[in-house]
Amino acid sequence: MKRSLPLIFAFVVGIIVLISEFIPHRPFNQIVSTLENWFMIISGFAILLGQISLIRMNANKIANRLPDWQYHLAGLVSFALMLIFGLLWGMQETPGLMGDGQGISAYLGSKPFDYLFENAYMPLSATLFSLLAFFIASAAYRAFIIRGFESNLLMITAVIVIIGRTSIGTMLTGWLPESLSFWHIPNLADFIMEFPNSAAQRAILISAGLGIVGSSLRIILGIERSYLGGDK
Amino acid sequence: MKHGMVLVFLFTITILCANSFHATDSPWDDGKAIDLFWELSPMTRQVSIHRLNENGNPVEVHKSTLAEGSFTDYGLEANTHYQYRLTAYFADDNLTLMADSNTREQWFFLRKLGFLLLLLIVSCAIIYYIRAARNGNEFFIRRIAGLDSMEEAVGRATEKGRPILFVPGISDLDDIQTIASLTILSHLAERSAEYNTELIVPCRFSMVLSAAREVVKEAYIKVGRPDAYKADNIFYLTDDQFGFVAGIDGIMLREKPAANFFMGSFYAESLILAETGFATGAIQTAGTAQAHQLPFFVVSCDYTLIGEELFAASAYLSKDPQQLGSLKGHDFGKLMIIVLIVLGVILEILGISALKEFIAGAVS
Amino acid sequence: MKLSPVAERRIIFTVLLFAVALPLVFPIGWTTEISEYTRIAYRLIEETDENKVVIISFDYDPSTMTELQPMAEAMIEHAFKKNQRVIATALWPMGVQMAEQAFDKVCSHYPDKERGVDYTNLGYKVGGMVTIQAMGRSLSDVYPVDNQNTPYEEIPMLQNVRRLRDIAWISSLSSGVPGLKEWMMVARDSYQVPVTGGCTAISAPGFFPYVNEQRQLHGLLGGLKAASEYESLIGRLGSATTKMDAQSIAHLLILIFIAIGNIKAWHGKKGRQQ
Amino acid sequence: MIQIMHVFGIWLAAFFTLSIFSFLYKDNPFYKFAEQVFVGLSAAYWLVYIIYSIMVPNLFAKLIDDFSGNIVLLIPATLGLMMLMRLHPKTQWLSRYPISIMIGTTAGISMLRYMKSDILEQVTATMINPFSANTVSGVLGNLLLIIGTITGVYFFYFSKKVEGIYKVPSKIGIWFLMVSFGATFGYTVMARISLLIGRLEFLLSDWLHIIK
C-alpha cells in the first residue's frame, strides 16, 4: 500500500498530462492547468526541504565536532544572518515582516539582505567559478597533447574556434580577398559551429532525447520506481 | 464633371463587390483560436483588424498590406462569441467590414497527429523490448571500446603493483549516471579481486558510499575472495565540489594509481581530475553523459565512453532486462529516425514536403 | 632546468593573471566581427512593433553575470529604444536581483521609463518547464503579484496580457537548467511564441541545433563575445566590449600554452626513444 | 555613514574574492571559511525567495484573501507539508505521495516536450534540400549537417557489430562528435576566461581604483 498508491498517482497524473496534449477538450486541460499550479507550490516545499536538510546536516557536523566544524559554524551563522535580514525587511522592492526598514537602509545604503547579497554572495559566487580559468590554462599546458587522428581533429577545431571568437582572428586573415572569405577564421569558426557542430549536437540531442522519453515512460508505467527510495 | 462622378461611383461599386471578410473557428483545436480570411480590392494599401471586447472596445490583433490574406487569432476563450472589425485603407478612402464567429473546443488536435503516432511507435517499441528482455530474450550489444580497456588497466596495475582509482562521479544516487557508474564499478571490482589488485573509490555522498561498498563487497564475494575486500579503500571524502576534487588530486599524487576510472556525472571539475591523472601517467578511462565535459576527457584520457555509451556499457554488464530492453527500444527509435531523415531529405530534393509537414505538424 | 609540477602550475597561474589584468588597465580597442546568430536575435527585437509586451527572463546567478549581465542590459535598452514594454521574470531566484540591477543601470539612461508602464519585475517562480507551461495558460495564476506586491490586474502594462501568446518575444538569459532550453521547448514549440536568448559560452555549442530553419530559437548570443557584438549593433559601448581585449589576449596565451605543452611532450617522447 | 558602509562592503567583497583565489596556492582556512559562508548565504537566499515569491503570493495570500474561493489550494499545501515529513525517518514514507505527483507530472511533460523539441523538430530540421543553398559553402554545410546527424545517431546505435561496412558510418559519426567537442572546448575556454575577467575588473576598478 505504501508503495502501490504512489505508483498509481504517478501513473494517473502522467497519463492525464499526455492525454491533454492531444485532446484539447475539457476536462483534461483544466485538470492539467490545476496540476501545474499545484506543482509549483509542492516544488516550493521541495526546495525548502532541500535547504533545511542541508543546514541540518551542517548543524550535525558542528554538534559532533567533525573535522572542520568551525567553518561549518561560520556557514551556519551567515545562513542565520541572511535569513533573519530577509524575513524582517525583505529584499529590494519586496517588503518583509517589519516593512521596508527605511532606517537601516539609510544607514547601509540598501536593505541588509541586499547588502549581504551584493558584497558577500555575489563576489563569492562569481569568484568560485572564475578559478576554472586558471585550471584550464594549466590543463592546456599539461594535458592537451595531440595524440591520435581523433584528438587532432578536436584540437584543430578548438584552435580555430578559440582564435575565431576574438579580435585576433579578424586581424590574422582579414586581408583575404572576398573570394576566399570562407577561409577567414571568424567565418570558418561560424561555419564549424553552424554545420558540423550542429550536426553532432543534434545527434546527441536525439539520442539523449530518446533516453528521456524512455525513462519518463518507465516512470509513468511504474517500471522504474527508484524515486520512491529503498524498500521499506 | 459628370464623367468624374460616374467614375467615382463605378469605383466604389467595384470596391464594395470585391470585398469580403469572414471568420470561422479554427478546426481541430482547443477552441482558443479563430481563423480570419479577407479578400479585398487590389487597390488596398493597408488592412487593420480589430477584435471587439465584451465592452465593445477594439483591440488591434493584426496589420497587413496584403489585399488578400488570412490570419489566426490565438489566445481566446473557448466556446465564446467573438466579433471582428476589418478596416481597409485605400488611397483616399477607407472601408469597414465586420465578421463574427464562435470558438469551439474539439476532441483532437489534428495537427499533432504525426507527433502522437511517432510517440506511440517509440513507446510501444520500448515496452515491447522490455517485455521481451524479461522473458529471457538475449540481445546483442556492440563492443564498447572503453570497456575493453578494463582488462588492460587491471593488468597494468597488477604488473606495477599499484592501485586502481575509481571515481563514481560527483552526483548523488538519484542520478542515473551514478547508477550506471556503480554497475561498471561492480565489474571492475570482480577483475581487481581476481588479480588481487587494490581498488580505491573516493565518494562525495554518503548514499553513494554505502552503495559502492555494497557493490564492491558483493563482487569480491562472487569471485571467492571476500578476505581481500577492504572497506577502508572505499571512503567518503567531502561533499564540497572543489574540495572533493582537491582530495582526489592528492590521492593521485601520493598513491600514483596505475589506472584511473572517472565514470558518472562530472561538472566543471572534470578538467582538474583529468589533468592531474594525465600528469601522473596513469591509463585513464572516463565516461559521462555530460556533453560539456567530454572534450576534456577525450583529450586527456586514453578511452572515453561518450554519452549514451555509458548507459549501454552498464546495460551490457548488468544484463538487467529493464536496462537492456530500454536500450533496445531506443535503438529502434534511432533506426527509425535515420530512415525518416534519409526519406525526408530525398523527398525534399524532389520538392515534396508532405512528410516534413506531417511530422512537424502544420505550424501555425 | 626542471621545474616541479606545482611550481609549473603556479607560474602558469601568474602569467594568466597578468595577461588578463594588463589589457584591462591598458585597453587596446581591437574590433570584432558580428556573427549571423547575433544579427538574427537583433532583428527579432528590431522588427517587433512599438508597445508590444515582451519577456526577458533572468535565469542565471552572479557566477555567470560577467557574460550574461551585458546581454540583459543591451536587450532591455534595445527594447526600450523600440518602445516595447519589458516584463522581467526569473526561473532562478538570484535572477530577480540581477534583473533589478539591469533595470537600474538602463533606466539611468532612460529616466522617462516608468515601472508598471514600461517595465515590471514579476520575480522568481520555481518549477521550470512546468511553470512555463502554466504561464501559457494564465500569467496571472503564476504571478498573482509583482515583486512590489502590486496585484497583476493593477499593473497598467499587463492589461491586455493574459498568457504567453500575448507576448511578442521572449528572451531567456540562461546559465543552466531551467533556462533557455525550457523556454524554447514550451513557449516556442508548444505555444508558438518567438524565443531568443543568450547563454554562457559553455552551453552555446549545445544550443546551435535549435537555430534552424524552423527557428526554434531566433538567434543566440553565446558568451561575452556575442554580448559585445550586440552592444555594437545597438550602438552602445558597454561593459562587454571593453572586456574583449583581455579576452583576446588570454585566448592567445592559452594557445601558446598548448603549443609549448605539445613541444615539450614531443621532446620528451624523442628523448625517451633515443 | 552610507559612504563608509559602501567602502566597507567593497572591502568585504574583495576579502571574499581573494580568499577564494587563495585556493590556487593551496587549500587553506581562508578558502574553507569563504566557501562555507557561501553555502550558508546561498541556502538562506533560496529560503527567503521561496517564502516571499512562492509561499506567500501563490499560497498564503490567496488563502487569507479569499479562503473559501481558494479552498482547493489546501490540497497542494497538505502535499507540501507531507514533503517536509521527509525530515523525520518515521514519517518519511508520507513524502512518497507528493514526490510521485511531481515525478508523474515531470515525466509526462518532459516526455512530450523532449519528443517534440529534441526529436521531431530536430528530425524535420535535418530534412532539408542540401542544394537549395545559393553558395558552395552553404551546400557543403547542408550536406555536412545531414551526414553528420545521420552518422552521429548511428554512432549511438548499439545493436549492430561495428565491422566491415558498418564501421564506416560509425567512424564518420565520431569525427563529427570530435569536431563538436573541439568547438565546445574552445567555447569553454572563452567562458572561463570571461568569468576571470569579471572578477579582475572588480578588483582593479571598484577596489583598487586602477581602472577608471
When divided into structural domains, chain A yields a total of 1
SS3 string of A34-89? Answer: HHHHHHHHHHHHHHHHHHHHHHHHHHHHHHCCCCCHHHHHHHHHHHHHHHHHHHHH
User: Which residue segment(s) compose the domain that B58 sits in?
Assistant: 2-102
Tell me the CATH number at B236: 3.40.50
More confident residue, B58 or B240: B58
Residue in C closest to D145 by C-alpha: C209
Residue pair B47/B86 in contact (Cβ under 8 Å)? The answer is yes
| Mean pLDDT confidence for B11-40 | 79
Range of the domain at A214: 145-220
For every residue of B200-229, which 3-state class applies, written as one string?
EEEECCHHHHHHHHHHHHHHHHHCCCHHHC
Indicate whether this complex's ipTM tops 0.90: yes
Give DSSP secondary structure letters for A144-170.
----SHHHHHHHHHHHHHHHHTSHHHH
Nearest-CB residue to A135 (from B271, B300, B329): B271
Among the partner-chain residues D47, D84, D178, the one whose CB lies closest to the CB of A150 is: D178
Chain-centroid distance, C-alpha C58? 8
Q: How distant is the Cα of C20 from the closest Cα of chain B, in angstroms?
A: 21
Does residue A7 form part of some domain? no
**Among B59, B74, B291, whose Cβ lies nearest the Cβ of C160?**
B59
Closest by CA position to A111, among listed A87, A134, A135: A87
Q: Which three cell numbers stand for residue B333?
A: 527509435
User: Is the same domain home to B131 and B153?
Assistant: no
What is the 3-class SS of C126-181, one letter each residue?
CCHHHHHHHHHHCHHHHCCECCCCCEHHHCHHHCCCCCHHHCCCEEEEECCCCCHH
Residues of the domain holding D171: 130-212
Contact C148, C155 (CB under 8 A): no
Neighboring chain A residues of C20 at a CB cutoff of 8 Å: 133
Are B164 and B177 members of one domain? yes
Q: What are the pLDDT digits (tens) for B32-53?
A: 888 999 988 888 888 899 988 7
Whether residue B312 is found in the same domain as residue B327? no
Residues B156 and B94 occupy one common structural domain: no
Interchain pair C203, B75: CB under 8 A: no
Quick: pLDDT tens for B123-180. 999 999 999 999 988 888 888 888 888 888 899 999 999 999 999 998 888 788 998 9
| Residue B123 sits in the same domain as residue B203 | no
Residue A176 lies in a domain: yes
Contacts of A190 in chain C (CB under 8 A): 35-37
**Shared domain check, B255 and B151:** yes
Set of chain A residues whose Cβ sits within 8 Å of the Cβ of B31? 24
- How many domains does one find in chain D? 1
Q: Please tell me chain D's helix, strand, coil percentages from 3-state DSSP, rounded to the nearest 5.
A: 85, 0, 15
Please count the structural domains in chain B. Answer: 3
CA B205 vs. chain centroid, Å, equals 27
Which pLDDT value is given to residue C1? 55
- pLDDT averaged over 10-residue windows placed end to end, chain A, 232 residues: 85 95 86 92 92 88 88 94 94 86 85 94 92 90 84 92 88 86 91 95 95 94 78 38
Task: Assign D148 to helix, strand or coil.
Answer: helix
Print burial letters for B281-303: b (CB count within 10 Å at least 16), e (below 16). Answer: ebbbbbbbbbbbbbbbbbbbbbb
Q: What are the two backbone dihedrals, phi and then psi, of residue B97, each rounded to the nearest 5 degrees?
A: -125, 150
Instruction: For residues C222 and C68, give the distance between their C-alpha atoms in angstroms, rounded to a whole number.
Output: 9
Closest CA to C100 of C123, C82, C117, C83: C123
Residues with pLDDT less than 50, chain C: none
Beta-carbon separation of C202 and D211 below 8 A = no
Q: Is residue D109 part of a domain?
A: no
- Tell me which residue in B59, B63, B292 faces C203 most closely, judged by beta carbons: B292
Q: How far apart are CA A138 and CA B255, in angstroms?
A: 22
Distance from CA of B22 to the nearest CA of C (A): 23
pLDDT value of residue B16? 56
Residue B266 and residue B162 in one domain: yes
pLDDT in tens, C139-163: 999 999 999 899 999 999 999 898 8
pLDDT of residue B1: 54
Chain B residues close to D129, C-beta within 8 Å: 345, 348-349, 351
Determine the residue among D181, D184, D190 to mutate to test chain B binding: the one whose Cβ has the most chain B Cβ atoms within 10 Å. Answer: D181
With contact defined as 3+ CB pairs under 8 Å, the chains touching C are: A, B, D
Residue D37 lies in a domain: no
Domain assignment present for A53: no
Tell me if D144 is assigned to some domain. Answer: yes
- d(CA D190, nearest CA chain C) in Å: 7
Query: How big, in percent rounded to 5, are the helix, strand and coil portions of chain A?
Result: 80, 0, 20
Helix, strand, or coil (residue A221): helix
Angle, CA C130 vertex, CA C126 and CA C133 arms, to 5°: 120
Can you give the CATH number for the domain in which B16 is found?
Answer: 2.60.40.10
* pLDDT, tens digit, 9 for 90 and up, residues B247-284: 898 899 889 999 999 999 998 888 888 888 988 889 99
**Test mutation, B292, B337, B356, chain C, max C CBs within 10 A:** B292
Does residue B75 surpass a pLDDT of 80? Answer: no
CA D126/CA C212 separation, integer angstroms: 9
- Going residue by residue through chain D (212 aa), what tens digit of pLDDT does each one get? 788 999 999 999 999 999 999 988 888 899 999 989 999 999 999 999 999 999 999 999 999 998 888 899 999 999 999 999 988 888 888 888 999 999 999 999 999 999 999 999 999 999 999 999 989 999 999 999 999 999 999 999 999 888 888 899 999 999 999 999 999 999 999 999 999 999 999 999 999 998 87
pLDDT at B12: 60
Who among A79, A160, A199 is closest to D41 (CB)?
Answer: A79
Q: Is residue A159 part of a domain?
A: yes
Q: How distant is the Cα of C47 from the closest Cα of chain D, in angstroms?
A: 24
What is the distance of C-alpha D119 from the center of its chain? 21
Are the Cβ atoms of A78 and D40 closer than 8 angstroms?
yes
The pLDDT score that the predictor gives to residue B325 is 92
pLDDT at B110: 83
The CA distance from B231 to the nearest CA of chain C, in Å, is 32
Nearest residue, CB atoms, A136 vs list B176, B271, B300: B271
pLDDT (0 to 100) of residue B10: 57
CB of A115 within 8 A of CB of D80? no
**Is B56 a residue whose pLDDT tops 90?**
no
Give the pLDDT score at B2: 59
Amino acid occupying residue A115:
Y
Give the single-character DSSP code of C64.
Answer: G
Domain-located, residue A76:
no
| B residues 322..341 contacting D (CB < 8 A) | 327-328, 331, 333-335, 337-338, 340-341
| Cα D111 to chain centroid, rounded | 19
For an interface test with A, give the residue of C97, C131, C213, C243 to mutate (most A CBs within 10 A).
C97
Closest CB to C165: pick one of B59, B75, B360: B75
Q: Does any domain span residue B140?
A: no
- Do B31 and B118 belong to one domain? no
When the pLDDT of each residue in chain B is averaged and rounded to a whole number, the result is 87
